[in-house]
Structures are given as C-alpha cells and as structure tokens.
Structure 1
Amino acid sequence: MTLVLDTQVTDFEWAQIVDRISRRQFFGGAAGVAAALAVSACGTSDAESEAVGDTIPYTWAEFSGDVPRSPKRVVVLDGRVDLEFAMMMDYPIVGSGNFWFPDESAGFQFPGRAIEDASFVNVAGDFSTNFEAVLGLDPDLIVMTHIGYSSDWYGNERLASIAPLLVVGDDIEPIAGHPVDWRGALLAQARQLDRVAIAEASIAEYERKLAELRPLLQDKLGGKNLVFGVQTPTGFVVHQRNLRISVALDAGLDVLFRDDNNSENSFEVSFEQLDVLAPADVIIAQARNQEALDVIKTQPTWQRLPVVQAGNVITTDARYNQGFALTSAIFLDVLADAAGRF
C-alpha cells in the first residue's frame, strides 16, 4: 500500500486521526500526525472496528491480553514459529518477518503455502522492526514468538500501541518421549482461540505422514546413532532438546546426547573436541553460515570422524529447529533423506 498525505481532511476525519494518534503513540510529534494522516488516507479497516467488540482473553507464559476472535489483517514478526502458528489458525497474513531468506516469499518453507503478497516488516537476520511498515499494513493482530516477546526483540510497547499482541510458543513442559511438546503447546493455545479443530487437523496430518514414513525410518535408521547440531566458525553446537529431536523420537530413532532437562538445550564443542562425535552414524547439522561450513570441513578432527568419512552428514538450515505440525512434517522428509543413504 502506498502511503499518501491527503490535505483535504474533514472535521470528522480529523477527530478520527486524533483518536488514532492517542492509541498509537510511538512516532511522537509531527511525525505521528503525518503517519496517522497517511494511514487515514487508506481508510479505516473493517477488521479494526469488528475486533473491538469481539475479543478473547488469552494467556501464554507471562503474556496476557485480549485478542480479536476473527482477525482480518495479521502481521507476524519472526517468520518461523509465529508464521506457522498463524497459518495453522487460518489467519489472513498481510505482513511477516523475514529472518532467514531475504529473497524468498513469506512462508515459502512450507510447501504450497507461500504468501506472495505479504509485505516484510523487518530486515532478514535483523531484530529491528520497521514500525512505519507495520502501521501502514493497518493490522488488527500482531503475532510474535514467546522468546521475541520476553526478550523484547521487536519493541513490545510500540507494537502494542498499533494492534493487540498474540504471543505464541512451540513448547511447554516436556512429557515422556517428547522433549519438545509442540502438540500440547499448539492445542493449549488453539483452545484459547476457539480453533482447536484446525489445530487437531494439522496434528492429524503430521501423524499420517509419520505413520507412512516410520517403517522406512525404522528399517534404515533404527539402532543408528543420530546427532543434531549446528556448525559454527569455532566448533559444533550439539543439540540436546528441540523439535527435530522430538520428531526423531516419534519415529523411534536413537539420538545421541539427548537431554530433556537441559534448559540451555545444547552444548558446544571446539574443533579440538570433535572426537566426542565419533559414535555418530548420522549427523544432521545446520550451518550457521557458509563460512562456518567451509571452516569445519578443513579441520582434521572433523575429517577423521567416521560419519564424515562415510558421507553421512546432512546439512540443513534453521527452518526445522522450531515449529509445530508443518515443520515437523517437513523434517520427516529430512530424516527420509538420511534413511536413503543406507
């Protein structure tokens, strides 16, 4: 949407602008007036008026607030967990963060679900938020991850002055066999939003895919030691508790170094300590960047690892580290790729 300043403002329109400035105070002074005028030129959305009278109380971790029951214009801030959640709730998404793939459309990581017309509201790889872009999209709901909210990555106060916030997370207290209980987290949040049926359908689709691939995964990877982690410029971060491990456990696979109670979720080994990975039959790693991938390949301790010599190292990206049913289903394909090597 192109923002323009309409100089022909009626008394009634001016009263509306003043009211909106009082509710959206973050630009300050003349800049705030100009921003409100610009948005006013685009018209007040139906969603804004509808959301005021039909809201639902919602709580997640330390966040609590009222959110619209049926939002019409939704912006997500990160573009991974929050985007996936908004997709599964069937929210109409008009804006998204774009952390990892600046040249791709929002949601491209979920096959068939790319949102070609969603605008980006931050810079890929940067926690800064373009508040003018967010305001220009006139959202009636802003969705963000729990870690983004608790760390105040995006400017919670300013965002809350634009639209109600919805804070989501992909994990609650672990249960037996699931170090990351994304199912429980998804259902607990969807229940508050009166969208349980949608969440259950997404989980059922994942379960169907799991049942389809589990025999192959058991046949090829059963009894083998899997390691998950991240290649860094100084070593290797071993993951002990995340969504990928939960998916592997769903498939009945063995994960080295798993620790459901480690609040840090991982530990790092230096290049000199890489021999701790020697028992691994498969390593599924995320390269932090191409430099990290290139550097570790030159290390003698990496080259000596049996799993490296066997060619059983699979490099993915950060898309599969967090999420819900959609991400879990995609990671089953990564495991199927690993199975194809045996």
Structure 2
Amino acid sequence: MKRRTLLAALLGGACLNLVSPGARARPAVPRRVIVLDWCLAELTLALGVVPVGMANTPGFRRYFTACPVPDSVVDLGLMFQPNMELMLALKPDLIVITPAHASLRGALERLAPTVTLGQFRASPAPYTGACEETMRLAQLFGREAQGEAAVAQSRRAIAQARARLDALPAYANARGDAPLYVARFIDESRLRVFGTHSLFGELLAQLGLRNAWDGAAAAAMIGFDALDADPRATLVYVKPLPAMTAMMMRTSRVWQAMPFARAGRMTGMAEVPPEGGILSAAYFAHALVDALAALPATLPAAQASEAA
C-alpha cells in the first residue's frame, strides 16, 4: 500500500494536507502529536517522536519506567477526561487514541485529525502486535528506519535475556520442566495471574519458559490457593508487594504449605506494566531473569530426579 493511502486509511479520511492523487509529493508528516494512551505513548517515544502532550504523565513516569518522558511533554490530565482547552492550546496536528476512547473521538476530531490504534492488546500475541503497531506508527510519522531499529533493538534485548537465562545452571537444560507463574498481588488473598495470551505470557514463551497458568484469558483474578495446580512451579510476583500480603506470607499456614513457598521457589521482580510496548517488553525480559537469578540454583525437576 502506498504511504499516502496508508495515512488516509489510518486517519479515517481526516485531512492531513494530502496531495491530489496524481501528485508525487509526500503527505505532510504530523509534528505536533498528542497521545492519550500510555502504551501508544511508549511506542511513539520509542520512535524518537516526542509528543507535545500526553495523558497523565505522572502516572506514566511511575509505571512505564523503561521509557523516559521529556520535561517538555505537557500533562493533559486523565486518560479518558483530558483537558480539551489545553489540548486546543497545544495546536496538535494529530491525536492518537485507542478504541476505548471512541466516545471522545467526535470531540477530538474537532481539534485535530485523530487516529485510532492499539487494537493489538486484544491479540493473543501482544508483543508481536506491539512490534507491528510500532511500524504502523513509524509509517505515520515518516520514521520507518527508526521503527525498524526500535523493533530490532527490542528483539535483541529479549534474545540477550534468553542468553543470560541459558547461562543460569538451573535453567540451562530444563526449560520445559521449569514452569512459572507470573502474578501481581492485589491484597492478602487475591492476585492477578498472567496467562499465555498476555504480554508477559508471550515473553515467557520467547524466553523458552513454560507458563504454569494456562488460562485462555490474558489475565485472571484468583485466590492464591489456586496456584497449587503444578507442584513444580516457581512463583514470580511483580513488585511492589502489598503490606498485608507480606504479613499474610509470614503468618498463613495455608500459604506456607503452597509447594513453591515451602520449597523457596518464589521471588519478586521489578515492576513492569503488563499493558506495555516494545520497551517494556525488553525491560520485563531482563527483570525476570534478574529475579530468577536470585533463586537457588536447583529446579523442581532436578529435585524430583534425585528423589527418584
């Protein structure tokens, strides 16, 4: 598809000063961009494109630690209740939203051409989708080379994390026998566990690890007692650990009887947003390997073999 045609399709016919069909000039490239979604903001920044405004920059800086935000980016307030007057003052030539912003689209289009992206998060392979979405944004901004470089760098970082994992004695020859739960605690009894169709789940597969939670959904809210399905599994929880959860771990006999807790196969890893993009994916891969490297160098499969 020609670039002019792609831009027109992405923008739903919004005016970007496109030239007539017979002309050879390239369409105007957006320069003053507003992004109202954190993951799309990460992908935009990964291309070297600095938005003039973003939704809730303090929240982004807190959770998307793999992706710095320049001080020049204006905070536009809540993601689904942005400051329209401030947006108008910024004179954007493009606004980037997700399908979840559909109710705002009419108002936003009165400010500037508006493009909807981000559908990849509903994909069974969110990381692959994020790479593809990065290239769509790269075409939109006329930064195809930067897009290819950003995607390649992310994939190299994940490959490097896998090489680091290969160097750990416990994981060198027993990937399929080393299932992992990746979860985030909500309180002392509930946690969010990530399935195979989540960003974390896809990255586990790319690292050669098996997800111990085989639910079809990207994530599920469960009680911690549901984590005993695979007695060989290791639990990796995303920090921070709620205070009440830490207390429960110290006092609950039910928790202490869980196979991974009893065997010391539990560790925390640095916070990574599960709805992140290619930068967060690379950060997750290395943060996970860091966490696994802190565990004892013995796998459940090895223990079982010795016992046999």
Q: TM-score, normalised by structure 1?
A: 0.66
| Cα distance change of structure 1 residues 67 and 166 upon mapping to structure 2, 3 Å threshold | farther
Residue of structure 1 in register with 2:37 after alignment: 78
Residue of structure 2 in register with 1:230 after alignment: 184
Residue of structure 2 in register with 1:256 after alignment: 212
Is 1:321 the equivalent of 2:277? no
Deviation readout 1:74-119 (Å, 9 max, x if unpaired): 111132x1111211343331111227x54x75896235x3211211
Amino acid at match of 2:114: L
Do the aligned partners of 2:234 and 2:265 also contact (CA within 8 Å) in 1?
no
Amino acid at match of 2:91: D
Distance 1:122 1:323 in 2: 20
Is 1:247 the equivalent of 2:196? no
Deviation readout 1:143-198 (Å, 9 max, x if unpaired): 1234x335x4xx22222211111222244754xxx565225532662475254322
Residue of structure 2 in register with 1:91 after alignment: 49
Q: Quote how far apart the aligned CAs of 1:280 are.
A: 2.1
Residue of structure 2 in register with 1:142 after alignment: 95
Do the aligned partners of 1:243 and 1:320 also contact (CA within 8 Å) in 2?
no
Do the aligned partners of 2:36 and 2:54 also contact (CA within 8 Å) in 1?
yes
Do the aligned partners of 1:179 and 1:245 also contact (CA within 8 Å) in 2?
no
| Cα distance change of structure 1 residues 72 and 249 upon mapping to structure 2, 3 Å threshold | same
Q: Quote how far apart the aligned CAs of 1:331 are.
A: 1.0
Distance 2:134 2:190 in 1: 37
1:56 aligned to 1, 4, 7, which one?
7
Distance 2:185 2:162 in 1: 28
Amino acid at match of 1:250: Q
| Cα distance change of structure 1 residues 293 and 163 upon mapping to structure 2, 3 Å threshold | farther
SS in structure 1 of the partner of residue 12 of structure 2: strand
| Cα distance change of structure 1 residues 249 and 89 upon mapping to structure 2, 3 Å threshold | same
1:110 aligned to 57, 66, 76, which one?
66
Task: Kindly tell me the number of residue pairs found equivalent between the two proteins.
Answer: 269
**Pairwise CA RMSD:** 3.4
Distance 1:110 1:257 in 2: 26
Residue of structure 1 in register with 2:113 after alignment: 164
SS in structure 1 of the partner of residue 286 of structure 2: helix
Do the aligned partners of 1:75 and 1:143 also contact (CA within 8 Å) in 2?
yes
Amino acid at match of 2:182: F
| Cα distance change of structure 1 residues 58 and 324 upon mapping to structure 2, 3 Å threshold | farther
Deviation readout 1:188-220 (Å, 9 max, x if unpaired): 624752543222111111222223222221343
Gaps of 5+ in 2: 17-27, 296-308
Residue of structure 2 in register with 1:17 after alignment: none
Deviation readout 1:100-144 (Å, 9 max, x if unpaired): x54x75896235x32112111114xx6422222222222111112
Report the identity percentage.
22
